[in-house]
Amino acid sequence: MNFKNLREYLAWLYYQYLLITGIYVLEPWEKSIFNSILFSAVAMVIYTSYVFVPIHVRLALEFFSGIFGGQPESTMALMN
């Protein structure tokens, strides 16, 4: 894939974004406000997923391993 095709593809994706969200009818300052709010929301979702999802997955695995026959850790093993 050469750069012209990549550039055309990215321009097409941006055009689709404008059409789907309906922001092609907005003025430039309204577009920038909308895009910054959207970017902030996406960034917060990504950050929250990165921080909290692994914790919840670990807790869920510990919970289900206890229910389905996981061996409890021995206190003597922890002392050694």
Please answer whether residues 52 and 45 qualify as being in contact, where contact means their C-beta atoms are separated by less than 8 angstroms. no
Per-residue pLDDT at 60: 87
pLDDT tens digits along 54-80: 998 888 888 888 777 666 565 555 555
Per-residue pLDDT at 1: 59
Per-residue pLDDT at 19: 93
Would the pTM count as exceeding 0.75?
A: no
How would DSSP label each residue in 2-46? -HHHHHHHHHHHHHHHHHHHTGGGS-HHHHHHHHHHHHHHHHHHH
Please answer whether residues 31 and 23 qualify as being in contact, where contact means their C-beta atoms are separated by less than 8 angstroms. yes
pLDDT tens digits along 4-34: 899 999 999 999 999 999 998 999 999 999 9
